[in-house]
């Protein structure tokens, strides 16, 4: 019987698909990030491993798993936790879990952060719950409109495009984007304009990041980039934490170089702050909204991710091509 190791409890729909396909399933029993020893032991002599983005899938892993391993199905859209070169060397297929349901969930969360920042929702919530509201005032917690403002997308792929449609069709925003290639569909449908990243940072009221984590995108937003942004602009990151240089972000917030930030992913995740000794912490700023990597955390998205991962495993173990092979665009 073919064996599948799942490194953490996931939505049951995918697990049931694997069982129905006749595979023996082993799930890491603790609902927490799997430790290295358990990851290596659990993967030994398995035909497939369903991994999470918190699992380091490197050459040591592939060597330890052994020659039976045919596929690592990563339960995430990103796959920067997997060494693709090592996988190729060991002749192991790597897949990820993109789907429109996941993309829509991330796009919704991105826009939720934009609205919450602009209208100071979390500040107002804390203000009211602390009993500080004593009556209406014309200057109480004034925010800024989203309508008519300029949204700058760094990365205009699937998720970026979904954010763009919400922005333009729902809130009448102007749209600019930067990236290695043109998106003619967005240009025709939404009047988007492709500009340089420098121009985007200078012109945008909201800068939203939608790029994978690659050597070329690590610290894509750092000191130089924050200095280009308007003091009234907001940064949104629902992509990957290390795309933003945390030290630079903290300095920009302290110096009031930007108006605020909505952060769902962190550079030193799961730590929210990389350096606790510098007396600068993201959580100290009222104009920063932090969410714990939950942009795709909806019932619909988690089910879709589980099922896409299962379908990839079933396909590969039955000698067919994977549905969504992991590849760098």
pLDDT for the residue numbered 115: 98
Same structural domain, 55 and 131: no
To 5 degrees, how large is the angle CA 43–CA 48–CA 53?
A: 75
Residue 94 lies in a domain: yes
In a domain, residue 322? The reply is no
Could you count the other beta carbons within 10 Å of the beta carbon of residue 16? 14
The CA distance from 83 to 87, in Å, is 6
Same domain, 92 and 192: no
**Is 293 part of the annotated catalytic residue set?**
yes
Total tally of structural domains belonging to the chain:
2
Q: Are residues 211 and 313 in the same domain?
A: no
pLDDT of residue 14: 97
- Same domain? For 35 and 89 the reply is yes
**41 and 109: one domain?**
no
pTM of the model: 0.89
Catalytic residue among 165, 166, 219, 293: 293
pLDDT at 181 (0 to 100): 87
Residue 27's domain comprises 3-98+299-317
Establish whether 126 is a catalytic residue: no
Choose the catalytic residue: 60, 108, 269, 300. 269
Query: Which stretch of DSSP H or E encloses residue 171?
Result: helix 171-171
Verify whether residue 269 is a known catalytic residue.
yes
Asked if residue 204 and residue 246 are part of one domain, the reply reads: yes
Residues of the chain with pLDDT under 70: 328-329
Quick check: is 327 in a domain? no
Q: What's the pLDDT score for residue 83? A: 96
- Does residue 117 share a domain with residue 19? no
SS (H, E, C) 110-166: HHHHHHHHHCCHHHHHHHHHCCCCCCCCCCCCCCCCCCCCEEEEECCCHHHHHHHHH
**55 occurs within a structural domain:** yes
Residues 61 and 74 in one domain: yes
Task: Tell me, yes or no, whether 32 lies in a domain.
Answer: yes
Q: Does 79 lie in the same domain as 45?
A: yes
How many Å separate Cα 107 from the centre of its chain?
A: 10
Q: What is the CATH number of the domain that holds 81?
A: 3.40.50.720
Of the listed 104, 240, 302, 307, which one is catalytic?
A: 240
Q: What is the model's pLDDT at position 33?
A: 95
Looking at the domain assignment, is residue 271 inside a domain?
A: yes
Same domain assignment for residues 212 and 186? yes
> Are both 90 and 109 inside the same structural domain?
no
If asked whether residues 49 and 142 sit together in one domain, one would say: no
């Amino acid at each position: 019987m073919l064996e599948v190791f799942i490194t953490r409890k996931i939505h049951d729909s995918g697990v049931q698909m694997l069982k129905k396909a006749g595979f023996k399933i082993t799930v890491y029993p603790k609902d927490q990030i799997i430790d290295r020893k358990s990851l290596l032991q659990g993967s030994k002599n398995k035909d497939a491993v369903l991994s999470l983005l918190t699992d380091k899938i490197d050459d040591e892993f592939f060597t330890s798993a052994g020659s039976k391993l045919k596929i690592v199905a990563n339960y995430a859209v990103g796959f920067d936790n997997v060494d693709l070169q090592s996988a190729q060397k060991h002749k192991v297929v790597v897949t990820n879990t993109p789907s429109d349901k996941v993309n829509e969930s991330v796009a919704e969360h991105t826009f939720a952060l934009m609205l919450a920042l602009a209208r100071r929702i979390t500040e107002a919530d804390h203000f009211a719950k602390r009993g500080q509201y004593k009556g209406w005032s014309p200057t109480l917690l004034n925010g800024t409109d989203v309508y008519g403002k300029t949204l700058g997308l760094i990365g205009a792929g699937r998720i970026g495009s979904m954010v763009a449609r919400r922005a333009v069709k729902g809130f009448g925003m102007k749209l600019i984007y930067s990236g290695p290639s043109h998106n003619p569909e967005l240009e025709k449908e939404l009047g988007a304009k492709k500009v340089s990243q420098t121009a985007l940072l200078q012109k945008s009221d909201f800068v939203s990041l939608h790029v994978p984590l690659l050597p070329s995108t690590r610290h894509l937003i750092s000191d130089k980039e924050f200095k280009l942004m308007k003091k009234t602009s907001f940064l949104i990151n629902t992509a990957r934490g290390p795309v933003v240089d945390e030290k630079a972000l903290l300095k920009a917030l302290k110096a009031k170089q930007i108006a605020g930030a909505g952060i769902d992913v962190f550079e030193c995740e799961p730590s929210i702050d990389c350096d606790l000794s510098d007396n600068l912490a993201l959580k100290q700023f009222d104009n920063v909204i932090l969410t714990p990597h939950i942009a795709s955390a909806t019932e619909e998205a988690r089910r879709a991710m589980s099922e896409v991962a299962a379908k990839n495993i079933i396909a590969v173990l039955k000698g067919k091509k994977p549905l969504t092979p992991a590849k760098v665009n």
